[in-house]
Amino acid sequence: MIDQSLMHPIPDRRFKFGCHPEIACFTVCCAKLSLVLTPYDVLRLKNRLQLPSKIFLDRYTTSYVDENYGAPLVKLKMNEDEHRQCPFVSREGCTVYEDRPGACRMYPVGRAASKIPGWDKTGEYYFLVKEAHCLGFNEQRGWTIEEWIEDQGLAEYNTMNDLFLDITAGIPAKRLKSLSDKQLGMFHMACYNLDEFRKFLFSTTFLERFDLEPQLIDRLRTDETELIRFSCRWLRFALFGEKTMAARADLSPQTALPNR
């Protein structure tokens, strides 16, 4: 959670900011972070590092259940020395820059997104996060919010992350908090451990039990963003009983859960 005293409105959606290797605070912001990774962040980072999902998760993240929302989340582990830097920072900057998480792209802009059940569109509000160590606000480069989103490659991140937000914020916390350990395990696997989720789809009787379009099955074999989209659809069916999937036979959400 961001300290509210650091949050500032952005009049006319315009602000001045610059960040570059010559600035005195360069990479100061890449330490001591509580950086929650979304499923799409995990996908981009594990592919960047050419690691299987499970190894990436074990090596770089901590898993926990959010006490307010009840959703299983993962955080990036900071280094365990006194500096507590991000494992991906170097003197030259971010070593995973092209695949850095959405929150790193957005900083120092904050995006509050909300989802009202039954409404199609995600509501969003932008603000600036002004931390004392960040000298970028002394720079004169002007931005609009739209220019910042474009420059930081955020559109794809926001689209993918909003699918996840639809579940974590769109489903009442009371329902999320009532999930069993087995259901939380499924939630975690489908969102973050995509290799395992793909195995669940293609190495079990899943495809015999559900009526999926052949083109979708082909895409699920090779396209991991499609796999994330599908995992959200699957979770809605398996955990919350929504009619987002068509079962071939009479199948309740309970019997749809894999034996893990």
**Of 122-130, 132-140, 145-153, 188-196: span binding ligand SF4 (CB under 6 A):** 132-140
Nearest to 103 by CA among 178, 35, 52, 50: 35
* Phi, psi (degrees; rounded to nearest 5) at 118: 90, -15
- Of 15, 40, 60, 88, the residue at the interface with ligand SF4 (CB under 6 A) is 88
Q: Which two tokens stand for residue 41?
A: 């962040």
- What is the spatial distance between Cα 161 and Cα 84, in angstroms, rounded to a whole number? 26
- Of 106, 134, 169, 220, the residue at the interface with ligand SF4 (CB under 6 A) is 134
Pattern 136-155, binding to ligand SF4, x per CB under 6 A? x-------------------
Q: Which two tokens stand for residue 2?
A: 């961001």
Does the footprint of ligand SF4 cover residue 89 (CB under 6 A)? yes
- Of 6, 10, 19, 247, the residue at the interface with ligand SF4 (CB under 6 A) is 19
3-state DSSP assignment of residue 72? strand
> How many beta carbons lie within 10 A of that of residue 217, not counting itself?
14
- The amino acid at residue 214 is P
Does the footprint of ligand SF4 cover residue 26 (CB under 6 A)? yes
- Of 2, 7, 25, 246, the residue at the interface with ligand SF4 (CB under 6 A) is 25
Does the footprint of ligand SF4 cover residue 60 (CB under 6 A)? no
Strand partners, 94: 89
CB nearer to ligand SF4: pick between 148 and 237: 148
Q: How far, in whole angstroms, is CA 50 from its chain's centroid?
A: 19
- Of 6, 135, 217, 247, the residue at the interface with ligand SF4 (CB under 6 A) is 135
Q: Which two tokens stand for residue 239?
A: 């955990």
- Of 29, 43, 163, 191, the residue at the interface with ligand SF4 (CB under 6 A) is 29
The answer to whether 130 and 8 are in contact (CB under 8 A) is yes
**Of 87-95, 166-174, 207-215, 219-227: span binding ligand SF4 (CB under 6 A):** 87-95
> How many beta carbons lie within 10 A of that of residue 113, not counting itself?
15
Q: Which two tokens stand for residue 145?
A: 């919010």
Pattern 94-123, binding to ligand SF4, x per CB under 6 A? x-x---xx--x--xx---------------
Contacts to ligand SF4 by CB under 6 A:
19, 23, 25-30, 33, 86, 88-89, 94, 96, 100-101, 104, 107-108, 133-136
